[in-house]
Chains A and B, each alone.
Chain A
Amino acid sequence: MGVKDYIRTRFFPHIWCPGCGHGTVLNSLLTAIEKLGLSKNDIVFVSGIGCSSRISGYVDFHTLHTIHGRAVAFATGVKMSRPGLNIIVPMGDGDALAIGGNHFIHAARRNIDLTAIVMNNRIYGMTGGQFSPLSGYGIKATTAPYYNIDHGFDIAELSVAAGATFVARSTTYHVKQLTNIFCKAILHKGFSVVEVLSQCPTYFGRKNNAGSAVDMMEFYKNNTIPKGSKAKEENSDLIERGIFVQKELPEYCEEYDKIIKIAKNRG
């Protein structure tokens, strides 16, 4: 099968602007799924609301396009009720970490086997360029016309602290690495987080004079480094890419199965 076999052509053309990073994420994700040879019937995409979340409509899996911020909570219900399914949860940075931040950390804490993908463009794309909890200090947005005084999260650090057992970061420039990471994240048993720096030329780019989509990808190339590089010690502004955490810990659905066994013996 090729990547095209995973796409619902009926749904096209897609809604994304020219140069939007989200299309690259979709392509990379489908390449990963193809590489893994997963059956379409075993894959569920659960997304929230945002430009990024529209990804679920375009793919030929079981797809659940939910409400803003709650994708992880819906996904928890799908996974717990049918643990054999492979659940992928693509979200925007606002979706996952503003309105959905609470669900995100609690799913990480439970170590439930979901693959959470945060398509981080540091802006609310869908609603037209307001700042997000990932925008960071000094950034301009339609609701930060002077400059943003909110500090951003570090998604990787947050996820690790919350208990995610697989945490990685890459960008739309580093597609090979990204695909590789997606493969590992999907295979990982437990809560996996993949943060993808994904450009929004239309709002983040324009508001912050970041140039074209190509310029923004150049930025990812020049301002990120593989995790563990010495360069980070000299320049702390550099953003690390790669796998931050990958560890085996009991998974939530399997833990509940143990409860069922005990309850049945007693019942």
Chain B
Amino acid sequence: MKGKIKFVQGNEACVEAAMYAGLDFFAGYPITPSTEIAEHLSYRLPQQGGKFLQMEDEIASMCAIIGASLTGHKVMTATSGPGFSLMQEALGYAVMAEIPAVIVNVQRGGPSTGNPTHVSQGDVNQARWGTHGDHAIITLTASSHQDLFDITVDAFNLAETYRTPVILLLDEVIGHMREKLVIPEDGEIPLVKRLRTSLKEGVDYHPYFPREDGRIPMSDFGGVHRYNVTGLYHDMWGFPSDNPRLVHDLIRHLVDKIQNDRHIITRCNQYHLDDARTILIAYGSAARSAHHVVETSRREGQRVGLLELKTLWPFPSGLIREKCAKARTIIVVEMNMGQVLAGVKQAVDNPESVFLANRIDGVLIKPVDITRIMRLIQGRGV
């Protein structure tokens, strides 16, 4: 990598990556700790001929980016918990109508206004189940600015590949922390373009008819194919239908297209897992502290490893099961009441070996918080 080097906040790294990925339409509403994303984009987007909209609220922001995605643009919005709550209905619309979009949630403490300027990872389950109804969703996260860059580009790529909204679940520490970022050269990270139908004007285009590989080519609104898009159950023309067979197949399709590819969508970092007796599982800013613990423990000769998750949904059960097969103790490190912990317990053979090292007080979990719990579990006292 020999790209441009910058020293930036995580929110800015996210902006750099979005621009790299081809973002050309953003709509949002200011909210701490995500606001810098909107601020930077209001400056950057028009320089490239892109559009930045400050809407009247987060509901409108989510709706506006869906509209813009339909005309063929790469779109994003950014928010934090309260705004993410407001977006849920429209997010479900994007799931149902299969419209690519990237939604950044820089997490703060909740519920409600919670703690705008402090860190939390309390929205993991909201990202999964915030909108109503059966569905699948892709949610990515990162613990360093370089990873954040890659995962943001990834988010745009996955959104196009699966015709789905993708959630980038960051946290206050990552969003505001400053760190080195190397911006890759153009072409260094492959970009997924919108898959557009090759059907010519006059040929009947079915907006929801999958190709053999399962992907569904799109046609830009305003182009030569006119079709209906709805949040109702619909047929391959996009027309509302309540035919039970069709409804069944639609829900299965929405879930399967993502769940069946979880091995492809799963991303992680692994540190010293091969011989690890104790495995820490962490993500986002908590993974930085967990990583520190692994480094110091190793120096002391302890066989500790770290599995850092970068894909939270679809939940990487297979990966966790495989990597933790030989571990005696698994400690999930997160800043909530155990939202990933629950998934890990389900994934492994021996749920009694899984423990939680957490903080829920708006303070970044520190290596000492983790080691204290680790020592207790290992029977070594504080």
Which of A's residues lie within 8 Å of B, judged by CB?
A: 8, 10-11, 40-42, 44, 46, 56-57, 60-67, 70, 73-82, 84-85, 102-103, 106, 256, 259-260, 262-264, 266-267
Given contacts A40-B226, A41-B224, A57-B240, contact A78 B231 (CB under 8 A): no
Q: Is the CB of A73 within 8 A of B221?
A: no
Q: Is the CB of B221 within 8 A of A78?
A: yes
Closest approach, in angstroms, between the C-beta of A256 and any C-beta of chain B? 6
Q: Is the CB of B63 within 8 A of A73?
A: yes
Q: How far is the CA of A77 from the CA of B59 in the complex (A)?
A: 12
A to B CB contacts below 8 Å, 17 in the list: A8-B228, A11-B239, A40-B226, A62-B226, A63-B228, A65-B231, A65-B240, A67-B231, A73-B63, A76-B60, A78-B221, A79-B67, A82-B72, A102-B57, A102-B60, A103-B59, A260-B49
Q: Is the CB of A70 within 8 A of B43?
A: no
Q: Is the CB of B66 within 8 A of A77?
A: yes
Q: Is the CB of A263 within 8 A of B51?
A: no
Q: Is the CB of A74 within 8 A of B222?
A: no
Q: Is the CB of A82 within 8 A of B222?
A: yes
Q: Is the CB of B46 within 8 A of A66?
A: no
Which of B's residues lie within 8 Å of A, judged by CB?
A: 25, 27, 43, 46-49, 51, 53, 55-57, 59-61, 63-73, 75, 89-90, 93, 220-224, 226-232, 237, 239-240
Task: Give the contacting residue for B229; candidates A11, A64, A82, A106; CB below 8 A.
Answer: A64
- Give A262's nearest chain B residue, CB to CB: B46
A residues near B239, Cβ cutoff 8 Å: 10-11, 57
Closest approach, in angstroms, between the C-beta of A206 and any C-beta of chain B? 26
Q: How far is the CA of A11 from the CA of B51 in the complex (A)?
A: 35
Q: Is the CB of B43 within 8 A of A66?
A: no
A residues near B43, Cβ cutoff 8 Å: 263
A residues near B220, Cβ cutoff 8 Å: 82
Q: Is the CB of A77 within 8 A of B222?
A: no
Q: How far is the CA of A8 from the CA of B65 in the complex (A)?
A: 27
B residues near A10, Cβ cutoff 8 Å: 237, 239
Given contacts A41-B223, A82-B71, A106-B60, contact A77 B93 (CB under 8 A): no
Q: Is the CB of A81 within 8 A of B51?
A: yes
Task: Give the contacting residue for A62; candidates B55, B60, B222; CB below 8 A.
Answer: B222
Closest approach, in angstroms, between the C-beta of A253 and any C-beta of chain B? 9
Given contacts A57-B228, A80-B25, A81-B67, contact A260 B46 (CB under 8 A): yes
Given contacts A61-B226, A65-B230, A67-B93, contact A81 B56 (CB under 8 A): no
Task: Give the contacting residue for B67; candidates A56, A75, A256; CB below 8 A.
Answer: A75
Q: Is the CB of B228 within 8 A of A67?
A: no
Q: How far is the CA of A44 from the CA of B232 in the complex (A)?
A: 19
A residues near B59, Cβ cutoff 8 Å: 70, 73, 103
Q: Is the CB of A77 within 8 A of B64?
A: yes
Q: Is the CB of A41 within 8 A of B64?
A: no
A residues near B46, Cβ cutoff 8 Å: 256, 259-260, 262-264
Closest approach, in angstroms, between the C-beta of A149 and any C-beta of chain B? 28
B residues near A80, Cβ cutoff 8 Å: 25, 51, 53, 64, 68
Q: Is the CB of B51 within 8 A of A64?
A: no
Q: A78-B68, A106-B60, A264-B47 are in contact. List 14 more A-B contacts (CB 8 A).
A: A10-B239, A11-B239, A42-B222, A65-B228, A66-B63, A73-B60, A74-B67, A76-B53, A76-B67, A77-B69, A80-B68, A82-B71, A85-B71, A106-B56
